[in-house]
């Protein structure tokens, strides 16, 4: 049985809340998604759950999703997984808004970094994950699908009642439209776990987002 622990992180104590997720199976094999900030809070939850984190998955490399990355990686010794399009952003070679968001730019050891492509899959016991590239918020923004429990971690692509902004570095509204169509065509009646805000059934999110897109003359 898949367990999902939502860890709400107040990034730099500025009232900007990012969802970090600890996902593990009955053997406590785990992944951690988006260690946004406050490594102590995240590590304490890992300890409380007795979880063995093997991968740290970055849905996209903006500062409010990576602020605690280095400290958490040092503690867990986990492999950092990011889409190849966001690798330079993660390494600070492209603007990732760490400075603006008041978080430290992670100094990443490349030996711990796994840059992946769309469709990459990996397993941890009963956990079976697929990386789905969903450009728009950034060029390497991903969603992560866990097949056995039929849940989708959507980062800043898809929220409960809207979609991610497209005006930041490597963002694109046209890419966002294509990514939303990709998700909407594939998934029905599945719980989504977004990077900010509450979890909902994707059918609820679809209704809100189709209405927003219709106001822009776009049909989804």
- The Cβ of residue 77 has, within 10 Å, a number of other Cβ atoms equal to 10
Distance CA(9)–CA(98), nearest Å, equals: 15
Residue pLDDT, tens place only, 93-136: 999 999 999 999 999 988 899 999 999 999 999 999 999 999 99
Residue pLDDT, tens place only, 132-155: 999 999 999 999 999 999 999 999
pLDDT of residue 16: 97
Averaged pLDDT score across all residues of the chain:
97
List for the chain the helix, strand, coil content (%; round to 5).
25, 30, 40
What is the chain's length?
A: 220
Confidence of residue 1 (pLDDT cuts 50, 70, 90): confident
In terms of C-beta density within 10 A (0-12 exposed, 13-18 middle, 19 or more buried), how is residue 47 classed? exposed
pLDDT of residue 68: 98
pLDDT of residue 54: 98
Confidence of residue 62 (pLDDT cuts 50, 70, 90): very high
Distance CA(162)–CA(154), nearest Å, equals: 12
pLDDT of residue 110: 85
pLDDT of residue 53: 98
Is residue 126 within 8 Å of residue 25, measured between CB atoms? yes
User: What CA–CA distances, in Å, run from 50 to 4, 46, 127, 158?
Assistant: 13, 6, 17, 30
Distance CA(191)–CA(200), nearest Å, equals: 6
Global pTM reads 0.97
Tokens describing residue 187? 């998934």
CATH of 3-215, one of 3.40.630.10, 3.30.540.10, 3.60.15.10, 3.30.499.10: 3.60.15.10
pLDDT of residue 51: 98
């Amino acid at each position: 049985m898949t367990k999902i622990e939502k860890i709400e992180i107040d990034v730099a104590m500025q009232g900007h809340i990012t969802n970090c997720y600890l996902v593990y199976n009955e053997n406590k094999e785990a992944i951690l998604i988006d260690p946004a900030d406050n490594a102590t809070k995240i590590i304490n939850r890992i300890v409380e759950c007795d979880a063995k984190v093997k991968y740290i998955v970055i849905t996209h490399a903006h500062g409010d999703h990576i602020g605690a990355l280095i400290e958490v990686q040092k503690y867990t010794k986990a492999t950092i997984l990011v889409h190849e399009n966001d690798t330079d952003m993660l390494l600070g070679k492209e603007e990732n808004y760490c400075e603006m968001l008041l978080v430290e730019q992670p100094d990443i050891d490349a030996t711990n970094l796994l840059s992946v492509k769309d469709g990459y899959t990996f397993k941890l016991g009963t956990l079976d994950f697929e990386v789905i590239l969903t450009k728009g918020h950034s060029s390497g923004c991903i969603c992560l699908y866990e097949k056995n429990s039929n849940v989708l971690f959507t980062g800043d692509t898809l929220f409960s009642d809207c979609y991610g902004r497209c005006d930041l570095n490597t963002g694109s509204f046209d890419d966002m439209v294509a990514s939303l169509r990709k998700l909407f065509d594939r998934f029905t009646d599945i719980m989504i776990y977004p990077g900010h805000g509450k979890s909902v059934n994707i059918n609820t999110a679809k209704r809100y987002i189709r209405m927003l897109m219709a106001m822009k003359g776009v049909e989804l």
